[in-house]
Amino acid sequence: METRKRLAKIVLVFVGCFALCWFPNHVLYMYRSFNYNEIDPSLGHMIITLVARVLSFSNSCVNPFALYLLSESFRRHFNSQLCCRRKRPHQRSTSYLLNSSNVRMTSLKSNVKNTVTSTSLLNGQSRQEASL
């Protein structure tokens, strides 16, 4: 039930942002549709038209910021994808680190039935195993 409330809040914020950003543009369209015979050459009308258009186009830019502020999971995933934040390397078990750093395994097949495996340790010791 809590997730539904959170989702409803996010949707309401998006609808509110959409209405706020597009309302001035729609008001201008209504004004022009009733006054289509007269052209308003004033500077104030041109500035209002420019602000309304920029505000309507900025609606696309506002959505990710609103989602970042409202959704914790979006914020967590977004932060993990940033290039400037380095991820901490995963902690590996010490047995894995010892095995992977000290042992190098190679296998040579002499024929189909016999396989010779040579294990080289980094400190110079070597060991050979043969399996038939």
111 within some domain: yes
Residues 10 and 71: their CA atoms lie apart, in Å, by 8
Q: What is the domain range of residue 119?
A: 99-131
Question: In this model, does residue 1 exceed pLDDT 90?
Answer: no
As a dihedral over the C-alpha atoms of residue 85, residue 74, residue 13, residue 54, rounded to 10 degrees, the angle is: 50
Total number of domains constituting the chain = 2
Confidence band for 45, pLDDT divided at 50, 70 and 90: confident
Predicted confidence at residue 89, as pLDDT, reads: 55
Predicted confidence at residue 122, as pLDDT, reads: 53
Predicted confidence at residue 125, as pLDDT, reads: 57
94 within some domain: no
Residues 76 and 21 in one domain: yes
22 within some domain: yes
Tokens 């910021």 — which residue?
65
Residues 28 and 31: their CA atoms lie apart, in Å, by 5
Beta strands 126-131 and 103-109: pairing type?
A: unpaired
Nearest to 93 by CA among 101, 83, 105, 104: 101
- 30-44, 47-61, 66-80: the lowest-pLDDT one: 30-44
Most confident of 25-29, 81-85, 109-113, 117-121: 25-29
Confidence band for 127, pLDDT divided at 50, 70 and 90: low
Residues 11 and 53 in one domain: yes
Question: In this model, does residue 18 exceed pLDDT 80?
Answer: yes
Question: Is the whole model's pTM more than 0.75, yes or no?
Answer: no
